[in-house]
């Protein structure tokens, strides 16, 4: 099948190609599995030194002593960077001139704001010498009692949450809605702190050449990183060259350049030699963000028929003492369920931790597990099947905005997912199913949703005299497959075979592709590429249709079709000309054009834009030991146009696995006395390993959304985690009859119910 991509501008030239929609294997796969894909820490410029962070072991107070002499006299140590000995910065790292400018600890003073905060940097000829030097610093502190946890202090209503949403949203009178209900439930759910644990920790190799800086470092947002670095060091952004072709995972913690990365650049400045700085795993638990814990209260009312009369979702979260990031957990209740009364409210307390940050499906992940658990509890209050209850209360227009959805194939997700799972055989009551070995079996479900976002991006496209194409964009591949999916869009955009297009990406001197976040990267970068390709084809068409010597002469009004490196008259496809011939006759070496992507404000004003899905899970629980195994999951997702089904499946698998992790595994445990994360490692911070991952089945439901963007792309990076965590939790209840509301669900919750 050859999908047709229509240009948005007149004359309506068409481009045909067959790259979009193909399940291409990721183009960088061989490089990665053979170890030839260079990650930031793989770089060793000549004369490079190693920098190692010394980090605070206390969470609040100040550093009173560092044994700098001991560190400096260790063989191989070149220098020790401290608040008293560091290169100057052009900007205050505590300044915050926009909400996404997060404050950093760049040795500006001796204060300690959280455990694992960088307090010095040791620079040495070898990694071993730098590590030993850092240990020899043996810091002393003046310590204050840290404020830890959701009850650490006075709570307050943040000025905004997430990316700037209001903290409190109220539609109708909750008390009246609850009073009008035939049944109500009230329940409190708690989610723990979670830490980003990409396989690749933050790492940087930095080289200065006078006022020019060249760095290798993972980034989900190259242009923002470039301008932040330029500001801090007082140099022009174009003097900052960042290479970030591959990221070993991001999950949001590489969206903004972090303090430790800047410290690596400062270290290189200080010693005037290239420097490499790589965080150790435990150093990831502090200075580079995390998902904050939440306590969420759901109050839901429904009339005698089971139709919602009120939905209230209140969430409490934490932020740091020195900066603002507020996990927007309650916002999850804005979109899915039709209730005439909705109230969401968020409050926060300040704790002595690093600043929380965006972490895969921020707000949606935390909020969804509470909302989907509560909806399940409500269905049970009516003794109704939870799928039927959801379908009955499904919103036809987005309840909080009153806008119709730009498209919504959720019902298909429910029906097809349930059918694939075999949901109709589910007994209504818990503790009804067991296997031959006596394990309790439970089936649960959750609804998935995530906003379909798009940011502003830019791309450049070229067709060269040999008829081949080049597409350039500073996009980010953090493992999701951007190198591949965007190359597919690039090839279709130029009417070329994918192997005839050179796709250049992953560096800051390429056009700004925005940020790889918010599940918006394929749409953002993809539309910019698509539009750049359209502009190049329009130029080629102009060259041909205005030239009497071309067989396309005069076809300007009819338009052309671009396919396989040729332009065809739309009204007479027997007349065509190759790109190479058009350029040769015009005496041009290449045709080049730029394209941008940006949301359409008119469409945004008119429609609510989301991807949707339904996730079904089966668990088996040992009735004596309480051990839980997820044995089977089915996820059905409608997420607009699928650029590459193989990569999309991987993304959805990853999200669903994180859902399992959220429900059953992940938790950062903080020592209340010291304020330190006690399991700051990958042995005790549990994430699912292969043995924990069930058989997973993914259905992508075809969906054509004409409003979301010209390619109909919605994004799949985060939706998989929403719905999945709730599905597992609800399956545990169905297996055992025990409703656990504090996550992750533990063995002891089932053996000795709270």
Q: Catalogue the active-site residues.
A: 718
DSSP track, 192-219: -BB----SSPPEEEEEEETTEEEEE---
List the one residue from 61, 259, 362, 659 that touches ligand MOS (CB under 6 A).
Answer: 362
Contacting residue, 360, 569, 610, 632, with ligand MOS by CB under 6 A? 360
**Could you give the dihedral angle defined by the CA atoms of residues 655, 658, 660 and 664, in that order, rounded to the nearest 10 degrees?**
-160
C-alpha–C-alpha distance, residues 250 and 651, integer Å:
13
Is the preceding peptide bond at 551 cis, omega within 30 degrees of 0?
A: no
Q: Which residue is nearest to ligand MOS (CB)?
A: 252
Residue among 318 and 361 whose Cβ is closer to ligand MOS:
361
Query: Smaller CB distance to ligand MOS: residue 360 or 566?
Result: 360
**Using omega within 30 degrees of 0 as the cis cutoff, is the peptide bond preceding 744 cis?**
yes
726 is a site residue for ligand MOS (CB under 6 A): no
Instruction: Quote the least distance from Cβ 526 to ligand MOS, whole Å.
Output: 16
Closest distance to ligand MOS from the beta carbon of 344 (Å): 20
The gap from C-alpha 550 to its chain's centroid, in whole angstroms, comes to: 48
Site for ligand MOS in 629-658 (CB under 6 A): none
**Residue placing its CB nearer to ligand MOS in the complex, 451 or 469:** 451
Binding marks (x or -) toward ligand MOS, 206..225, rule CB under 6 A? --------------x-----
- HEC string of 662-709 equals HHHCCCECECCCCCCECCCCCCCCCCCCHHHCCEEEEEECCCCCCCCC
Q: How far is the CB of 718 from ligand MOS (least distance, A)?
A: 6
The reply on whether position 450 binds ligand MOS by CB under 6 A is no
Q: Does 430 bind ligand MOS (CB under 6 A)?
A: no
Closest distance to ligand MOS from the beta carbon of 326 (Å): 14
Q: Does 61 bind ligand MOS (CB under 6 A)?
A: no
Regarding 451 and contact with ligand MOS (CB under 6 A), the answer is no
4 burial (CB, 10 Å; 0-12 / 13-18 / 19+) is exposed
In the numeric block, which tokens belong to residue 284?
A: 């990831």
Q: Which stretch binds ligand MOS (CB under 6 A): 51-59, 250-258, 380-388, 412-420?
A: 250-258
Report the distance separating Cα 126 and Cα 133, nearest Å: 10
> Is 256 near ligand MOS (CB under 6 A)?
no
Asked whether the beta carbons of 344 and 701 are under 8 A apart, the reply is no
Distances (CA, A) of 438 to 15, 421, 442: 59, 22, 13
Shortest reach from residue 381's CB to ligand MOS, in Å? 34
Position 245 contacts ligand MOS (CB under 6 A): no
Nearer to ligand MOS, 395 or 716 (CB): 716
The reply on whether position 252 binds ligand MOS by CB under 6 A is yes
Interface region with ligand MOS, contact rule CB under 6 A, candidates 359-367, 467-475, 630-638, 723-731? 359-367
Per-residue tokens: 419: 């059918």
Exactly one of 359, 374, 482, 711 binds ligand MOS (CB under 6 A); that residue is 359
| CB 476 to ligand MOS: min, Å | 10
Tell me how far apart the alpha carbons of residues 236 and 226 are, in angstroms, rounded to a whole number. 9
**Segment contacting ligand MOS by CB under 6 A, of 267-275, 358-366, 594-602, 615-623:** 358-366
First to last CA, the chain: 56
With CB under 6 A as the contact rule, which of the stretches 96-104, 353-361, 365-373, 484-492 interacts with ligand MOS? 353-361
Query: CA torsion sign, 68 to 70 to 71 to 75?
Result: positive
Q: Which long-range contacts (CB under 8 A, 24 or more apart) does 552-560 make?
A: 552/576, 552/577, 556/11, 557/11, 558/11, 559/11, 559/12, 559/13, 559/14, 560/13, 560/14
Question: What is the contact mask toward ligand MOS in residues 502 to 531, using x (rule: CB under 6 A)?
Answer: ---------------xx-------------
* 254 and 220 Cβ atoms separated by less than 8 Å: yes
What is the β-pairing status of strands 695-700 and 628-638?
Answer: parallel
Closest CA to 504 of 524, 529, 540, 523: 529
> Per rule CB under 6 A, is residue 724 in the interface with ligand MOS?
no
Shortest Å, Cβ 719 to ligand MOS: 12
Note whether 8 and 600 are within 8 A (CB).
Answer: no
- Comparing CA positions, the residue from 286, 53, 115 lying closest to residue 676 is 115
Measured from the CB of residue 221, what is the shortest distance to ligand MOS in angstroms?
A: 9
Scan residues 483-502 and list those touching ligand MOS (CB under 6 A).
Answer: none
Q: How many residues bind ligand MOS (CB under 6 A)?
A: 10
Query: Rule CB under 6 A: which residues touch ligand MOS?
Result: 220, 250, 252, 255, 358-360, 362, 517-518
């Amino acid at each position: 099948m050859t999908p047709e991509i229509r240009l948005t501008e007149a004359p309506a030239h068409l481009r045909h190609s067959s790259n979009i929609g193909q399940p291409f294997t990721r183009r960088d796969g061989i490089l990665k599995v053979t170890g030839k894909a260079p990650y930031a820490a793989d770089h060793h410029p000549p004369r490079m030194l190693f920098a190692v962070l010394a980090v605070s072991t206390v969470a609040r107070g100040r550093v009173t002593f560092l044994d700098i002499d001991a560190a400096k006299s260790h063989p191989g140590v070149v220098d020790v960077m401290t608040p008293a000995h560091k290169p100057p910065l052009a900007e205050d790292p505590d300044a915050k001139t926009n909400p996404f400018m997060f404050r950093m600890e760049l040795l500006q003073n001796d204060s300690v704001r959280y455990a694992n905060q960088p307090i010095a940097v040791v620079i040495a000829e070898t990694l071993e010498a730098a590590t030993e030097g850092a240990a020899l610093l043996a810091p002393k502190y003046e310590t204050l009692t840290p404020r830890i946890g959701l009850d650490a202090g006075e709570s307050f209503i943040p000025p905004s949450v997430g990316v700037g949403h209001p903290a409190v949203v109220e539609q109708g009178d909750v008390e009246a809605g609850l009073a009008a209900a035939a049944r109500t439930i009230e329940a409190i759910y708690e989610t723990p702190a979670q830490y980003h644990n990409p396989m690749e920790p933050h790492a940087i190799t930095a080289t200065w050449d006078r006022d020019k800086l060249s760095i290798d470092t993972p980034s989900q947002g190259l242009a923002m990183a470039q301008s932040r670095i330029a500001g801090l060091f007082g140099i022009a952004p174009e003097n900052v060259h960042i290479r970030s072709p591959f990221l070993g995972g991001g999950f949001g913690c590489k969206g903004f350049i972090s303090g430790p990365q800047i410290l690596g650049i400062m270290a290189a400045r200080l010693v005037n030699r290239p420097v490499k700085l790589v965080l150790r795993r435990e150093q990831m638990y502090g200075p580079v963000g995390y998902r904050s814990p939440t306590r969420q209260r759901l109050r839901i009312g429904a009339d005698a028929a089971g139709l919602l009369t009120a939905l209230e979702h209140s969430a409490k979260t934490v932020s740091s003492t020195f900066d603002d990031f507020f996990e927007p957990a309650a916002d999850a209740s804005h979109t899915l369920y039709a209730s005439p009364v909705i109230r969401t409210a968020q409050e926060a307390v300040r704790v002595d931790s690093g600043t929380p940050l965006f972490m895969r499906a921020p707000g949606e992940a935390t909020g969804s597990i509470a909302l989907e658990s509560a909806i399940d509890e409500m269905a049970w209050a009516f003794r109704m099947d939870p799928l039927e209850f959801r379908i009955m209360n499904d919103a036809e227009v987005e309840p909080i905005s009153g806008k119709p959805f730009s498209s919504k194939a959720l019902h298909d997700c429910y029906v097809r997912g349930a059918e694939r799972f075999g949901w109709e055989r589910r007994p209504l009551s818990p503790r009804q199913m067991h296997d031959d070995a006596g394990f309790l079996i439970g089936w649960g479900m959750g609804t998935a949703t995530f906003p379909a976002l798009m940011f502003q991006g830019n791309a450049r496209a070229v067709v060269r005299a040999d008829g081949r194409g080049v597409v350039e964009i500073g996009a980010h591949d953090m493992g999701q497959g951007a190198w591949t999916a965007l190359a597919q869009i690039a090839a279709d955009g130029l009417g070329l075979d994918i192997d005839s297009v050179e796709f250049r990406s992953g560096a800051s001197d390429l056009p700004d592709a925005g940020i790889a976040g918010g599940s918006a990267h394929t749409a953002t970068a993809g539309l910019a590429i698509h539009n750049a390709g359209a502009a190049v084809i329009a130029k080629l068409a102009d060259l041909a249709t205005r030239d009497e010597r071309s067989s396309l002469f005069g076809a300007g009004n009819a338009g052309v079709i671009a396919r396989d490196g040729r332009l065809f008259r739309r009204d007479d496809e027997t007349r065509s000309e190759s790109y190479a011939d058009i350029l040769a006759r015009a005496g041009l070496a290449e045709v080049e054009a730029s394209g941008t992507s940006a949301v359409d404000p008119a469409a945004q004003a008119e429609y609510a834009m989301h991807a949707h899905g339904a996730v079904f899970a089966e668990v088996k629980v040992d009735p004596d030991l309480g051990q839980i195994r997820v044995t089977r999951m089915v996820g059905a997702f409608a997420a607009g146009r699928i650029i590459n089904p193989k990569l999309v499946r991987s993304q959805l698998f990853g999200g669903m696995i994180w859902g399992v992790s959220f429900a059953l595994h992940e938790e950062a445990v903080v020592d209340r006395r010291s304020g330190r994360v006690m399991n700051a490692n990958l042995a005790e911070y549990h994430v699912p390993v292969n043995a924990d991952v069930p058989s997973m089945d993914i259905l992508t439901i075809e969906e054509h959304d004409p409003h979301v963007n010209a390619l109909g792309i919605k994004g799949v990076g985060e939706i998989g985690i929403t719905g999945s965590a709730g599905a597992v939790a609800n399956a545990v209840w169905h297996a055992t009859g025990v409703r656990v509301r504090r996550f992750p669900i533990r063995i002891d919750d089932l053996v000795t119910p709270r």
